[in-house]
Amino acid sequence: MLNGTEKFRAMKRRGEKITALTAYDYPTARLLDESGIDIVLVGDSLGMVVLGYKDTTQVTLAEMLHHTRAVARGAARALLIADMPIHTYDTPEQAVATARQFIEAGAQGVKLEGGASHVAQIEAMTSAGIPFMAHIGMLPQSVREEGGYKVKGRTQSEAQALLADARAVENAGAFSIVLEIVIADLARQITEAVGIPTIGIGSGEHCDGQILVTHDLIGLFPWFTPKFVSPQARVADEIRRAVRTFIERTRGTARM
């Protein structure tokens, strides 16, 4: 039987779609796991949807490790991947040291943002036996330099660079590649060009799998929902309803 990350290549070969969602705490991880999700990602989207930061650049390693430990207690079956926060993988040595901390915290692999520019870090981690998921396309940790969350792959040069990134991370030992907000036709080309699975977010239907921020999927962060998400629940509305009912009932029993 194939285990760990090998199973995802096999799923790609068989044309079976891979499902991935984020979790940042024990109950969510357990619910995703019990529902049959393939991959649970402790994304650094944690910073925005849980910690209330403006973007992911403020997330610290200590915060990510803390939440990874909680998720590890809840995810018994799914593969658990953790995001390495910005500036925790500036050199190959730092990348390996950071990745080891995530493995100790219960992750089974790590993800960082970058392609050809980070081959040295990726090779150092995969040579050390640490399963690695790549992330190319729109890179949220670069949102400040980029001036927003922009679609990637519109120009010929951007498309060529992304194809080169995908090949570079595959050669460096990545077991899968997240493609974030890449135009659908390019996501299809990348998916066909590499042997490892692509997991898309806002990158169309041709990827080998799909990943979403769980808060977006279940309507738990109602103040902002990316255009490409169709929420499947309205959990924020349910929370408001329950809280209002509690307030009304409690106030209704006040002594006059």
State the residues that interact with ligand KIV by CB under 6 A.
22, 41, 43-45, 83, 135, 178, 201, 211, 213
Which residues does 214 contact at the CB level (< 8 Å), separation at least 6? 21, 22, 23, 28, 32, 220
| d(C-alpha 127, C-alpha 45), whole Å | 27
C-beta separation of 208 from 17 below 8 A: yes
Name beta bridge partners: 46.
none
Assess whether 180 carries a catalytic annotation: yes
Which of 35, 245 has the CB closer to ligand KIV?
35
Nearest to 21 by CA among 182, 219, 172, 213: 213
Which of 22, 126 has the CB closer to ligand KIV?
22
How far apart are CB 116 and ligand KIV at their closest, in Å? Answer: 19
How far apart are CB 45 and ligand KIV at their closest, in Å? Answer: 3
Which of 84, 183 has the CB closer to ligand KIV?
84
Rounded to 5°, the CA angle 69-74-78 comes to 100
Nearest to 142 by CA among 24, 55, 229, 46: 55
Which residue minimizes CB distance to ligand KIV?
Answer: 43
How far apart are CB 50 and ligand KIV at their closest, in Å? Answer: 11
Q: Tell me which of 93, 170, 180, 248 is the catalytic residue.
A: 180
How far apart are CB 130 and ligand KIV at their closest, in Å? Answer: 18
- Residue entry with tokens 């090949």: 167
Which of 52, 252 has the CB closer to ligand KIV?
52
Catalytic residues, by residue number, are 180
